[in-house]
């Protein structure tokens, strides 16, 4: 399985700096090693770092596999982080917290492509009429997140409750987790 800790509302120009800050902390804590084992290419969306000596102890409560599996990929640049969505999963308006029915998701996805290309994309909420930028929208089950920063724990044991908050504090931004099976 994989879990991505996604930075929310990260300006494009801040993504590289925040990625470096998060990575420096993860290395200092012994969670990953500093030298990337794979760099971004057609296969990887970002550089991949091998797990460090404290990987299992720091990220998971599942000690059966904690130390033996997984590595970290750091993704920067506008990305649709996603897993197969729950049936009829609805986008949630960041202004009125309504899960938008009907064409809400199509309305949003019509704009996502433009946001990916240009960084600009506004979506009007069918419930309150408020306009929000693409990366501000959430989903009922966190099956999607639109952002310029993500830390993907590949093949990793389940992240401990609280680890995301810890990383969030280091980055000093809110985060969410998109998790799924490989």
CA atoms within 13 A on the CB side of 124: 2
Per-residue binding letters, 34-73, with Zn ion (x by CB under 5 A): ----------------------------------------
* Using rule CB under 5 A, residue 108 touches Zn ion: no
Position 93 contacts Zn ion (CB under 5 A): yes
What's the rounded Cα separation, in Å, for the pair 112 and 125? 15
**Candidate list 21, 82, 95, 160; residue touching Zn ion; CB under 5 A:** 95
Identify which range of 17-25, 46-54, 91-99, 168-176 contacts Zn ion by CB under 5 A.
Answer: 91-99
Region of 25-33, 42-50, 96-104, 107-115 interacting with Zn ion (CB under 5 A): 96-104
Cα–Cα distances in angstroms (integers) from residue 161 to residues 12, 50, 62, 172, in the given order: 28, 22, 11, 18
Report if residue 27 touches Zn ion, rule: CB under 5 A. Answer: no
Beta-carbon count within 10 A of 138 CB: 18
> Applying CB under 5 A, which part among 23-31, 89-97, 111-119, 153-161 lies near Zn ion?
89-97
CA atoms of 150 and 164, how far apart (whole Å): 12
Number of chain residues interacting with Zn ion (CB under 5 A): 7
Identify whether the C-beta of residue 16 lies closer than 8 Å to the C-beta of residue 159: no
Strand partners, 89: none
Region at 162 (left for phi over 0; alpha for psi -120 to 50; beta for the rest): left
- 127 touches Zn ion (CB under 5 A): yes
Q: Which residues are at the interface with Zn ion (CB under 5 A)?
A: 93, 95-96, 125, 127-128, 130
């Amino acid at each position: 399985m994989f879990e991505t800790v996604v930075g929310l509302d990260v300006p494009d120009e801040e993504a590289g700096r925040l990625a470096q800050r998060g990575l420096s902390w993860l290395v200092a804590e012994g969670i990953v090693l500093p030298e990337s084992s794979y760099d971004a290419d057609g296969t990887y969306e970002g550089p991949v770092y091998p797990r460090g000596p404290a990987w299992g102890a720091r990220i998971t409560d599942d000690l059966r596999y904690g130390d033996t599996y997984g590595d970290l990929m750091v993704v920067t640049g506008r990305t649709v982080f996603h897993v197969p969505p729950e049936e009829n999963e609805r986008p949630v308006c960041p202004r009125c917290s309504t899960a938008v029915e009907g064409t809400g998701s199509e309305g949003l996805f019509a704009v996502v492509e433009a946001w990916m290309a240009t960084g600009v994309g506004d979506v009007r909420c069918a419930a309150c009429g408020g306009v929000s930028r693409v990366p501000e929208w959430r989903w009922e089950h966190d099956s999607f997140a639109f952002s310029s920063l993500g830390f993907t724990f590949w093949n990793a044991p389940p992240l401990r409750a609280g680890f995301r908050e810890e990383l969030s504090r280091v980055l000093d931004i809110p985060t969410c987790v998109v998790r799924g099976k490989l």
